[in-house]
Structure 1
Amino acid sequence: MSRILLIDDDTELTDLLKEYLTGEGFDVTAANDGGRGLELAQSQSFDALVLDVMLPVHNGFEVLRKLREEACSLPVLMLTAKGDTVDRIVGLEMGADDYLPKPCNPRELAARLRAVLRRGRVENEQGDDSLTSGQIRLLPAEHQGYWNNQALALTGAEFAVLKVLMQHAGEVVGKEVLTESALGRKLMPYDRSIDVHVSNIRKKLADKGASRDLIINIRGAGYMLTQSKQ
């Protein structure tokens, strides 16, 4: 049974989501403020975190920042105000794997969680098979990426996006394909998740000495990893 940590100060919504997710086979632990939620995330083992932005004590961004600073790779799905594009982009830039607007549909939340968890299981089932493209190497079993033998601190979503681009190195991969293959869901209107994940990957690769043009944007078509497969 997958363990989910749900952090939201809306107790009525929390109770509703907890009841629904429990009925769907998840083991849910809830916290109603960022301080308690962060404490639970740091002291216990969970498979995924559902994190609201507006929280007392520590807001969602602060909780996410602290976890990522500690190199915590726990998949994080953020709950953002409906139509608040800024919060969504900021969350993704800080290392969230995906987001849902509030009020969220419990069924959609369960589907997103399954997609995140399924992605992790697929990678683990691949054993020690590594994927190499130029100086980039991914080890799915360890959920670890490297540039020129330097470790990359990739989130689960970033790892999955980079993996798809490496599997199609030298080819243009559309955002629809990247969203479905890497995030496990359909591309939504005005959805910039893939753009932000690719931007984060570029920054992390550049920090290790890679060219910013290693991954290029083909306007209106998608993204391409420019080096050829090895």
Structure 2
Amino acid sequence: MNEVSDILIVEDEPKIAELVSDYLKSAGYTATHIAHGDEVLPWLEHHAPKLVLLDVMLPGRDGLTLCREIRYRSPQIGIIMLTARVEEIDRLLGLEIGADDYICKPFSPREVLARCKALLRRMESSEEQGPEGAAKQGLVLDPQGWRALADGQDLGLTAIEFQLLSVMMQNPGRIYSREQLMEQMYRDHRIVSERTVDSHVKKLRKKIADAWPTREIIHSVYGVGYKYSPEPR
């Protein structure tokens, strides 16, 4: 049986890893540190963390590759990317391949702790949901568990994808510009590009299409943005 550990810190800078680990432990979490990318997957074969803090730049396997592999092997594990690279492509890729959130360096340990707590709360709420919600037909949002259910099937949305869908579903038929969607999705005023929104919409559409192959409920409005329409075209 796998040993349970709350948080795995994958970071090759010892001082950062030690600071984050001490802060998490002081808040009551158990934390383990790995500095080399090649050691992560073998460790996960014998341990079951609830969440992984994953640096993008690592010796051996890089963080983006590890994120993809962890998400494929263990979809229940929460993933927060840590990056000192501010280019949009890194932020975009981190969330495209299944990360739940990202934090840019330099960061304060308080911010890391707050992000970890928020993600763990969402994950715990999702686990506590009973079967009643899953029995509902149509597209149903579960705000407590941060889930979207299509005829009872969990779409497996990331936090950002859930927020995106939630915003559009509040006003069916309303056309949202990319800027309006960014304001609702990123309330911490982080810097993102319109391309990032397009990427999230693309991935959200794919997850909906996997559940409903014959329906299209999120539509592009050329030159303007996107809208949610509950009725198929």
Q: Is TM > 0.5 for Structure 1 vs Structure 2?
A: yes
Matching residue within 20, 25, 30 for 1:27: 30
Matching residue within 180, 187, 190 for 1:188: 190
Change (3 A) 1:186 1:131: farther
Where do residues 68-217 of structure 1 align in structure 2 (5 Å cutoff)? Answer: 68-130=71-133, 135-136=138-139, 147=150, 152=155, 154-157=156-159, 160-161=162-163, 164=166, 168=170, 170=172, 172=174, 175=181, 178-179=184-185, 186-190=188-192, 195-208=198-211, 209-211=213-215, 213-216=216-219
Q: State the 1:100 CA deviation.
A: 0.9
CA distance in 1 between partners of 2:123 and 2:84 (Å): 27
Percent identity over the alignment is 31
Runs of 5+ in structure 2 lacking a partner?
none
- Give the secondary-structure state (helix, strand or coil) at the position aligned to 2:86: coil
| 1:3-31 deviation digits (Å, cap 9, x = unpaired) | 11110111121111111221222211110
Q: State the 1:38 CA deviation.
A: 2.2
Alignment root-mean-square deviation, CA = 3.7
CA distance in 1 between partners of 2:24 and 2:223 (Å): 38
Q: State the 1:44 CA deviation.
A: 1.4
Change (3 A) 1:197 1:59: same
- Letter paired with 1:188: R
Change (3 A) 1:42 1:111: same
Q: State the 1:109 CA deviation.
A: 1.0
Runs of 5+ in structure 1 lacking a partner?
none
**TM, length-normalised to structure 1:** 0.75
2:20 aligned residue: 17
Please tell me whether the aligned partners of residues 133 and 152 of structure 2 are also in contact (alpha carbons under 8 angstroms).
Answer: no
Paired residues, number: 222
- Letter paired with 1:21: L
1:43 aligned residue: 46
Worse-superposed segment, 4-13 or 201-210: 201-210
Q: State the 1:132 CA deviation.
A: 8.1
Worse-superposed segment, 86-95 or 40-49: 40-49
Q: State the 1:169 CA deviation.
A: 6.2
Change (3 A) 1:78 1:34: same
**TM, length-normalised to structure 2:** 0.75
Please tell me whether the aligned partners of residues 217 and 230 of structure 2 are also in contact (alpha carbons under 8 angstroms).
Answer: yes
Q: State the 1:76 CA deviation.
A: 0.6
2:65 aligned residue: 62
Please tell me whether the aligned partners of residues 4 and 29 of structure 1 are also in contact (alpha carbons under 8 angstroms).
Answer: yes
Larger Rg: 2
